[in-house]
Amino acid sequence: MTDEERKFERRTFLAGAAGAGGVALAGAALPGTAHAHGNGESIALVAPVTPADPQYPDLVMGLNNRWTATPDSVYVVDSPHQVAPIVRRAVRRGTKLTVRGGGHGFEDFVYNSEVETIIDMTNMNRIYYDTRMKAVAVEAGAILLDVYEKLYQTWGVTLPGGVCYSVGMGGHVAGGGWGWLVRRNGLIVDHLYAVEVVTVNAAGRVNTIIATRDRRDPHRDLWWAHTGGGGGNFGVVTRYFFRSPGAHGRSPAQLLPKPPSKVLSSFALWSWSTMTEADYIRLLQNYASWHVANISPDSPTREVTSLIQSFHRSNGEIHMYAFVDSAVPNAQQMLDSYLAHLQNGVTPAVFAAQSTMPWLQFCKLTGTTNTLNNDPTLRGEYKSAFMKDTFTTAQAAAIYRAMTRSDINNPNLNIVISPYGGRTAAVPNAATAIPHREAAYKLLWQAQWANPADDAANIAWARETYRDTFADTGGVPVPNDQTDGCYVNYPDADLSDPAWNGSAFAWHDLYYKENYRRLQAVKKAYDPRNFFNHRQSVELPS
C-alpha cells in the first residue's frame, strides 16, 4: 500500500465511522463508551498493518503454526471504541473479517486463505472495576495471567478460568471457560454478568450492544449465547463484565470468588518402563471412577482437583497433578484419600512429591512452565471428549494402544484427562450455552510437532486413536449415558467430516446438544447476514 493509498484509507475510514451507520449502544451505557458516532464525537483510528510492514508476519498466525493467513489488513486495536469502525469498513467492502484474541485457536477459524481483515485484540487488555455495571470489566484481549494477577493482587478474588497463561479472554469465555477451579467454582461463564458485542444487522448497520443476564434485558439471549456458544459466531466481543450470581456490593472483593490462599499440591510421575497395560487401564479407570462418584456440587470433595497428562511411550512419562485448598477442613485427608484411590492396584509412581504454595504462585507455575502449551513454533492437531461415566475397558485399552504405538516416535503426543463436575454440575444444561453439565471429566488429545514434513503422521495418530477410542459410537463421543460430546474451545474440524464422524450426531450436536436451536435463533437475531462465520460457526436456521 502506498502512502497515498494509506491516506485515502484513513480518510474513508473516518468518513465511514462518522456516517449514519454509527455505533448504537443498547443496554447500560458505560462511562467513556461512545454512543452513536456522527454527533461530533471523535474516534481513535488504527492504521492497518499490511504485507509491506515488518511486523506483518507475526500478526498473521496464531499459536498453532499450521494455520496462517494473508489478509490485506491487520488492525491491532487498543480500545473497544476502535472496533466498530473496522467492522463497518469490512461490511461496506464485503471483506472477510476474523478476530484474534490470545491466538490459541486450535483450528483455522481465524487464520485461513479467505481472511482479508483481522482485528487483533492483544493490546486491548484493560481490567478494571466498572462502577455503573457494578462488575469487573475485562477487555477481550486480556490474557488469563493478567486477569488472575489483577483480580487477586488488587481485590483478593479470581475467576475460574483456564490454565495456560497466554490464552485470551475473548474466545476463552465465549466457549465456556474451563480451568483449575472448575470443581470448586464452576466455569468462568457461571460468573459472567454482561458482554459487549459489535454486531451487524440485516441492513448492514453496525451496532455495539451490551447484553446482560438480567431477566428483563431484551438482549439477554445474546448474553446467553456467549456463555458457551463459541467465538466468531455472533459479533466481535470487546468487553466482558463479571459479577457472580447473587453477589452484592460495590467492591470486586465482594463480587467474585475468592481462590484458595494456599494450595496443598501433589505431583506424581509414572515411567512407561514399569507401566503394564493392566496398570495403565486401572489408572485411567481409577481416575474416572473417582470423578464419577464425586460429581456432586455440594460434596466437600469438590475442593479436590486433579489432572493426568499421559504422554506417548516415546516420552517415557505419565504425569499427575492434584491440589486442594489447604484451609478447608480435612484437606490433607481428602487429598490422601484421592491419591490412594488413584493408585489402587497400579504400579507405584517412580516419583511423588507434595508441597504447599500460594495460589497465584501455583497459577504461574502451572500456566507458564508447560512448554507444549506455550511454544509458538509448534503445529498441532487436537480432539476432545466429555465423559459422564467411567472408561469402558475397551476405551481405556484403546488409549493404551494410542500411547504405545510403535509406528510413530513423537514425545510430544499426549492425552490430558481433566476434572469436571463439582459446582459445574449445579447449573442446568440449558442455563448456559455450554450444555455438558452432567460430565464428570473430559479428555483432550494433543499432537504437537515442529516440522511440516511430519504433518501427515501426527494428524493420522490423533484421528485414528480418537476414532479407535470411540469406535462403538461412530468414532466420536456422542451424547449418551457414558459420553457427552465435545468441547467447543477445543474445536475439531474433523467432526464435520463423515470420514471421521460416523455417528448420527452432527458437529453442532456434539458441541451444543439441545442448545443449538436456540443458538441459531440468536444468530438470526443478531447476525442475520451471517457476516461472522467460519468452518464450524453457528448456522442460520434453514
**pLDDT surpassing 60 at residue 33:** no
**pLDDT surpassing 80 at residue 279:** yes
**pLDDT surpassing 50 at residue 4:** no
Quote the pLDDT of residue 152. 98
Nearest to 384 by CA among 101, 39, 107, 47: 107
| CATH value of 262-515 in 1.10.1070.20, 3.40.462.20, 3.40.50.1100, 3.40.50.620 | 3.40.462.20
Alpha helices in 388-529 (DSSP H): 393-404, 455-469, 507-512, 516-526
Pair 5, 51: CB distance under 8 Å: no
Quote the pLDDT of residue 172. 98
The mean pLDDT of 166-180, rounded to a whole number, is 97
The mean pLDDT of 208-212, rounded to a whole number, is 98
Pair 347, 248: CB distance under 8 Å: no
**pLDDT surpassing 90 at residue 122:** yes
Supply 17's cell numbers. Answer: 465511522
**pLDDT surpassing 70 at residue 13:** no
Domain boundaries, the chain: 3-120, 127-258, 262-515
Q: Which of 19-23, 173-177, 180-184, 444-448 has the lowest mean pLDDT?
A: 19-23
The torsion defined by the Cα of 108, 111, 117 and 120, in degrees rounded to 10, comes to: 110
| Edge-to-edge order in the sheet of strand 379-387 | 351-358, 262-271, 317-325, 305-311, 414-419, 441-449, 379-387
**Cα–Cα distance, 125 to 102 (Å, whole number):** 10
The architecture that CATH gives domain 127-258 is 2-Layer Sandwich (3.30)
| Strand partners of residue 385 | 443
3-class secondary structure, 185:
helix
Supply 155's cell numbers. Answer: 481485590
| CATH value of 3-120 in 3.40.50.10300, 3.30.465.10, 2.40.33.20, 1.10.150.120 | 3.30.465.10
Helix axes 144-155, 359-368, angle to 10 degrees: 170
Helix and strand numbers, DSSP H then E, in the chain: 14, 16
Pair 232, 110: CB distance under 8 Å: yes
**Cα–Cα distance, 61 to 378 (Å, whole number):** 12
The mean pLDDT of 59-73, rounded to a whole number, is 97
**Cα–Cα distance, 119 to 97 (Å, whole number):** 8
pLDDT-derived band at 12, boundaries 50, 70, 90 = very low
Q: What is the 3-state secondary structure (H, E, C) of 193-257?
A: EEEEEEEECCCCCEEEEEEECCCCCCCHHHHHHCCCCCCCCCCEEEEEEECCCCCCCCCHHHCCC
For the chain, percent of residues with pLDDT exceeding 90:
90
**pLDDT surpassing 50 at residue 104:** yes
For the chain, percent of residues with pLDDT exceeding 70:
92
pLDDT-derived band at 393, boundaries 50, 70, 90 = very high
pLDDT-derived band at 370, boundaries 50, 70, 90 = confident
* Eight-state DSSP code of residue 443: E
Pair 77, 46: CB distance under 8 Å: yes
**pLDDT surpassing 50 at residue 8:** no
Quote the pLDDT of residue 185. 98
pLDDT-derived band at 44, boundaries 50, 70, 90 = low
Q: Which of 20-34, 37-51, 73-87, 98-112 has the lowest mean pLDDT?
A: 20-34
**Cα–Cα distance, 277 to 285 (Å, whole number):** 12
Higher-pLDDT residue of 7 and 391 is 391
pLDDT-derived band at 45, boundaries 50, 70, 90 = confident
**pLDDT surpassing 90 at residue 39:** no
> How big is the CA angle at 462 (ends 399 and 308), to the nearest 5 degrees?
45
Quote the pLDDT of residue 489. 98
Which distant-in-sequence residues (6+ apart) come within 8 Å of 202 by Cβ? 528, 529
Neighbouring C-alpha atoms within 13 Å toward the C-beta of 178? 29
Average pLDDT value for the chain: 92
| Same-fold call for 3-120 versus 127-258 | yes
Higher-pLDDT residue of 189 and 372 is 189
Q: What DSSP assignment string belongs to 355-414? A: EEEEHHHHHHHHHHS-HHHH-TT-EEEEEEEEESSPPPHHHHHHHHHHHH-SS---TT-E
DSSP E strand boundaries for 5-108? 25-26, 73-76, 97-100
* Eight-state DSSP code of residue 17: H
Higher-pLDDT residue of 17 and 241 is 241
**pLDDT surpassing 90 at residue 27:** no
Pair 331, 324: CB distance under 8 Å: yes
Model confidence over 139-169: pLDDT tens digits?
Answer: 999 999 999 999 999 999 999 999 999 999 9
Q: Contacts from 358-361 at CB under 8 Å and sequence distance 24+? A: 358/261, 358/262, 359/152, 359/158, 359/259, 359/260, 359/261, 359/262, 359/263, 360/148, 360/149, 360/152, 360/153
Quote the pLDDT of residue 291. 98
Helix axes 331-343, 277-293, angle to 10 degrees: 140
Quote the pLDDT of residue 21. 30
Supply 340's cell numbers. Answer: 490412594
